[in-house]
Amino acid sequence: MSTAATEHLDVAHGGIPAGKEHIYAQAPVLSARNLVITFGRVVGLDGVDLDLYPGEILAVIGDNGAGKSTLIKCLTGAYVPDSGTITMNGQPVSFRKPQDARDAGIETVYQQLAVIPALDIASNLYLGREERRKGPLGSVLRMLDKKGMEHRAGESVQNLGIQTIQNMGQAVETLSGGQRQAVAVARAAAFGSRVVVLDEPTAALGVKESGMVLDMVKQLRDKGLSVILISHNMPHVWEVADRIHIQRLGGRAGVITPETHDMGEGVAIMTGAKKLAAPA
């Protein structure tokens, strides 16, 4: 599929969300074209395109095994695709490992494990980015600036409005599921990331906790970050998404918006019961 046809497809199926024309007049912050990855005889992705614009929430939906996690793993350096291209702000990128994507401003909360339960909140926030004390204590003795990290962790959590977390020295295993996800999202938001990718952040959460995580996702968007949100929860998707990328059998079945398509139609496209009309 040509790039021109794909760009047309993005707009033709779902249209541009009302009142957000300015967002879609910009170049995508992250784009993928024709991503292919196979695992032996299993096709993970079969030539997938994706566009993520600055300041949008792009939901990715699809049945189990449709390739959602595989797609975001390819975008975030956890998998290296067999072929296809990925660009950030129009520049080709080639992530060989998750740290490469993180360095480029993509922070990911993977489906399996978002945080390390035995560590405290500040340590989780600064995992892999520990700050050392100033002067020779840090540079020679490599002592960590624990106080500073706790202070800044508290600020990040406050900024996101997670008032229920009191003590940054608290072990994450003592937090509720929603608070844990909140820490993971705060981690994503705290480091000047431009893109935050969340794979099923509300899957194990109650109503109140899910609401908290969704509010944080909206806050990230309102700060101008772009969010990719994978979810099986259709009401959540229809509540927060600007656009919805539908993944089916390793391919992209289409892109819709909550305004142009209702949940029933979205699920029908996801399961193959309904096909999107070809772009005019």
Give the binding site for ligand ATP (CB under 6 A): 39, 42, 44, 62, 64-70
Q: Shortest approach of Mg ion to residue 42 CB, angstroms?
A: 14
Radius of gyration of the chain (CA): 19
DSSP annotation of 261: S
Is the CB of 13 or the CB of 68 nearer to ligand ATP? 68
Is the CB of 67 or the CB of 258 nearer to ligand ATP? 67
Q: Evaluate whether 246 touches 266 at the Cβ level (below 8 Å).
A: yes
**C-alpha span between 228 and 217 (Å, rounded):** 10
Q: Taking CB within 5 to 8 Å according to partner kind, which of Mg ion, ligand ATP, none is near residue 31?
A: none
Total residue count of the chain as it appears in this document: 280
Q: Shortest approach of ligand ATP to residue 40 CB, angstroms?
A: 7
Tokens found for residue 128:
């892999």
**C-alpha span between 74 and 69 (Å, rounded):** 9
Q: Which residue is nearest to Mg ion (CB)?
A: 69
Q: Taking CB within 5 to 8 Å according to partner kind, which of ligand ATP, Mg ion, none is near residue 65?
A: ligand ATP
Is the CB of 44 or the CB of 105 nearer to ligand ATP? 44
Q: Shortest approach of ligand ATP to residue 66 CB, angstroms?
A: 4
Neighbours of 274 (CB within 10 A): 16
Q: Shortest approach of ligand ATP to residue 87 CB, angstroms?
A: 22
Tokens found for residue 229:
């949100």
Q: Shortest approach of ligand ATP to residue 60 CB, angstroms?
A: 8
Q: Taking CB within 5 to 8 Å according to partner kind, which of Mg ion, ligand ATP, none is near residue 44?
A: ligand ATP
Is the CB of 175 or the CB of 197 nearer to Mg ion? 197
Neighbours of 212 (CB within 10 A): 23
**C-alpha span between 179 and 206 (Å, rounded):** 11
Rule CB under 5 A: which residues touch Mg ion? Answer: 68-69
Is the CB of 1 or the CB of 80 nearer to ligand ATP? 80
Q: Evaluate whether 195 touches 106 at the Cβ level (below 8 Å).
A: yes
